[in-house]
Amino acid sequence: MGKRRIIQTISALLSNANLAGFINGTLYKGNLKSVCVPGLNCYSCPAAVGSCPLGTLQTALGGIKNKFPFYILGTLLLFSVILGRGICAFLCPFGLIQELLHKIPTPKLKKSRKTRMASWLKYIILLVFVVVMPLYYLAKNGVAVPGFCKYICPAGTLTGGIPLLLADERLRAVIGDLFLWKTAVLAAVIMFCVFIYRGFCRFLCPLGAIYSLFSRITLFGVNIDEKKCTRCAACVNLCKLDVHAVNDRECIRCGECRKVCGYGAIELGVIQTYHCPSRDPIETQP
């Protein structure tokens, strides 16, 4: 097990330390639940000891008439400036799940111009389901609807909805069309991620979209030693993600590019140089 996988596993366990919740079907409601964790980690997961930043943001927008959401916006800004999309690579439990799903032996869809275009979809989801929908229903009915959590989030269904149903027979008796829809979304995402590396992360995740907006000012990431770099673009060409350059909006700062750099020019750490290869990346990766 590599160092990054160890960090991912530890982070997932720390964010979901209330493992007994899976047995008794109850949620942790201690003081830590008021604190946001960095990754996509559903509040309704029985094991969760913190709150999901996306769910908190949608809830906060529902109360914006009475209180400006300083806490969640400040938290997201802090996460974005310090680690940015490095959170996707190291601290997001659902990112770990996606990578494990992709290890299932099947033919894999390689990146291309089409997948790069599709990577913009997550920004539309961020705008429509995370921002516009809660504010629209707040203005219309006086009650905000957390659109992403309610209609899309596969992490919530997998780690929250399904475990709670399995633990509580009363909930199983009231399953409705919405849960069936969410289950179908989850099944589609699981299949998607088996064939496409981090498919949800790349194309659908609004939390990754938020972090990517700060890619140019994120403190920690991938450093390029300009004295060693030959601008061969191997780092970009062989990356499984839809990157155009190291540390761009699609780069999750995982550091896997260090393995393919034949010149020892790549390290993880405080970013000193944002690097754009002089050659256009190839359209596919092995």
Q: Which residue has the tokens 């799940």?
A: 97
Burial of 220 (0-12, 13-18, 19+ CB in 10 A): middle
Q: Indicate whether 282 belongs to any domain.
A: no
Asked if 42 and 61 sit in the same domain, the reply is yes
Domain finish residue from 167, 186, 212: 212
Q: Where are the alpha helices (DSSP H) in the chain?
A: 3-15, 21-24, 53-62, 70-82, 86-90, 93-102, 113-118, 121-125, 133-141, 147-151, 154-156, 162-167, 169-172, 177-195, 199-203, 206-212, 234-237
DSSP-derived letter for residue 47 is: T
Domain finish residue from 188, 212, 236: 212
Asked if 229 and 204 sit in the same domain, the reply is no
What H or E segment, with its residue span, contains residue 266? Answer: strand 266-270
Asked if 141 and 234 sit in the same domain, the reply is no
Q: Indicate whether 96 belongs to any domain.
A: yes
Q: Indicate whether 277 belongs to any domain.
A: no
Q: Indicate whether 264 belongs to any domain.
A: yes
What H or E segment, with its residue span, contains residue 223? Answer: strand 220-224
Asked if 26 and 142 sit in the same domain, the reply is yes
Asked if 108 and 91 sit in the same domain, the reply is yes
Asked if 197 and 224 sit in the same domain, the reply is no
Q: What is the pLDDT of residue 275?
A: 59
Q: Which domain holds residue 84?
A: 3-212
Asked if 136 and 153 sit in the same domain, the reply is yes
Asked if 79 and 163 sit in the same domain, the reply is yes
Asked if 229 and 89 sit in the same domain, the reply is no
From first to last of the 286 residues of the chain, give the pLDDT tens digit. Answer: 689 999 999 999 999 999 999 988 899 999 999 999 999 999 999 999 999 999 999 999 988 888 899 999 999 999 999 999 999 999 999 999 999 999 999 999 999 999 999 999 999 999 999 999 999 999 988 888 999 999 999 999 999 999 999 888 888 888 889 999 999 999 999 999 999 999 999 999 999 999 999 998 999 999 888 889 888 889 999 999 999 999 999 999 999 999 999 899 999 988 876 655 545 544 444 3
Asked if 229 and 189 sit in the same domain, the reply is no
Asked if 245 and 202 sit in the same domain, the reply is no
Q: Indicate whether 278 belongs to any domain.
A: no
Please name which of 222, 213, 232 lies closest in space to residue 274, comparing C-alpha atoms: 222
Other CB atoms within 10 Å distance of the CB of residue 179: 16
Q: Indicate whether 266 belongs to any domain.
A: yes
* Count of domains forming the chain: 2
Overall pTM > 0.85: yes
Q: Residue 185 and residue 151: Cα distance in Å, rounded?
A: 9
As given in the structure block, the two tokens for residue 248 are: 């761009």
Q: Indicate whether 139 belongs to any domain.
A: yes
Asked if 261 and 182 sit in the same domain, the reply is no
Q: Indicate whether 196 belongs to any domain.
A: yes
